[in-house]
């Protein structure tokens, strides 16, 4: 735990970007609109990729907004203190991101018709992505080697708490018609098919050409070249671009390059134990 972390309902948050007041406001007072779309993820699971896709779908494949408005303003994180104004300025239908666990989400969602898209990623790749992100993220430097990243993850001591609790919490919504579940690995394997499924869920009828445009402008290389999407415009004292790239590799299975056999076997044992009560299997487990 770093000096500026705090705990709320047993989950760790960062004082630089979170506050108890904002968390309480979001949970108890934030007004969810029926046409809202929530992009929910555990961090490093494809949040920004989904922001890009959803905004392109909203604008029928037109990339103008993607090329002119920073990605964190297009779909700000509802719980981030500094993003409160940006959330208030969103045009409808609002596309709002969140890493919040299920039991922190706005209570007014329960009686709304709003939609939630939950993206899951192979947790071993989440750990690798985090490991490299922490090197450039100045607000929360975790000193330590890769083993430390694995330990923090498995103990649930990082920001937003336990990955396992996050997934299990949100899976309570799996049979709700307002809930769409997808994995990062499915997006990678069938980008276009995933966009079509998302359009169907959102009730958007796009032409083939418009779908092609969504896919093209949300591809890894296009996003990496787009300064409105690659986070190079973030303040340097927050994201040190000399220490890495936010759009780092964008692949699945990169964990094989960093986990030792022993780390992987240990991870698998803990994973099986922690997931046994969920009784579900996930596509990304095969990657």
Give catalytic residues, as residue numbers: 99
**Phi, psi for residue 59 in degrees, rounded to 5:** -100, 25
Q: Is 129 in the site for ligand PPS (CB under 6 A)?
A: yes
Q: Which of 250, 194, 229, 217 is nearest to 48 (CA)?
A: 229
User: Binder to ligand PPS among 152, 182, 206, 247 (CB under 6 A)?
Assistant: 247
The residue of the chain with the least Cβ separation from ligand PPS equals 250
User: Binder to ligand PPS among 19, 45, 75, 210 (CB under 6 A)?
Assistant: 45
Q: Is 146 in the site for ligand PPS (CB under 6 A)?
A: no
**Cis upstream peptide for 56 (omega within 30°):** no
User: Binder to ligand PPS among 158, 186, 218, 267 (CB under 6 A)?
Assistant: 218
Of 129 and 183, the one with the shorter C-beta distance to ligand PPS is: 129
Residue carrying structure tokens 């596309």: 95
Q: Is 49 in the site for ligand PPS (CB under 6 A)?
A: yes
Helix (H, G, I), strand (E, B) or coil at 226: coil
In what side-by-side order are the strands of the sheet with 115-120?
95-98, 37-41, 115-120, 179-183
Beta strand ranges found along the chain (DSSP E): 5-8, 11-14, 37-41, 95-98, 115-120, 179-183
Of 81 and 219, the one with the shorter C-beta distance to ligand PPS is: 219
The contact pattern for ligand PPS, residues 220-239, with x = CB under 6 A and - = no contact, is: x--x----------------
Binding site for ligand PPS (CB under 6 A): 41, 43-49, 125, 129, 132, 218-220, 223, 247-250, 254
């Amino acid at each position: 735990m770093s000096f500026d972390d705090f705990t709320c309902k047993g989950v760790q948050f960062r004082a630089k970007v979170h506050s108890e007041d904002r968390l309480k406001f979001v949970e108890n007072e934030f007004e969810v609109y029926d046409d809202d779309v929530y992009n929910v993820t555990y961090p490093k699971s494809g949040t920004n990729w989904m922001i890009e896709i959803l905004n392109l779908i909203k604008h029928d494949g037109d990339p103008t907004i993607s090329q002119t408005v920073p990605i964190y303003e297009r779909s700000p994180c509802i719980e981030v203190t500094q993003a409160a104004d940006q959330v208030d300025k969103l045009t409808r239908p609002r596309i709002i991101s969140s890493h919040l666990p299920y039991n922190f989400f706005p209570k007014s969602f329960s009686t709304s018709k709003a939609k939630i898209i939950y993206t899951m990623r192979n947790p071993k790749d989440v750990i690798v992505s985090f490991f490299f992100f922490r090197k450039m993220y100045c607000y929360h430097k975790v000193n330590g080697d890769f083993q430390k990243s694995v330990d923090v993850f498995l103990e649930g001591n990082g920001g937003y708490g336990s990955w396992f609790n996050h997934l299990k919490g949100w899976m309570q919504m799996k049979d709700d018609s307002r809930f769409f579940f997808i994995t990062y690995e499915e997006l990678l394997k069938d980008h276009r098919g995933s966009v079509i499924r998302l359009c169907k869920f959102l009730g958007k009828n796009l032409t083939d050409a418009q779908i092609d445009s969504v896919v093209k402008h949300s591809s890894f290389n296009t996003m990496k070249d787009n300064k409105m999407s690659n986070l190079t415009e973030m303040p340097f004292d927050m994201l040190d671009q000399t220490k890495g790239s936010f759009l780092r590799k964008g692949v699945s299975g990169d964990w094989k390059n960093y986990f030792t056999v022993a780390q992987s076997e240990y991870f698998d044992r803990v994973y099986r134990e922690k997931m046994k009560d969920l009784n579900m299997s996930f596509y990304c487990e095969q990657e």
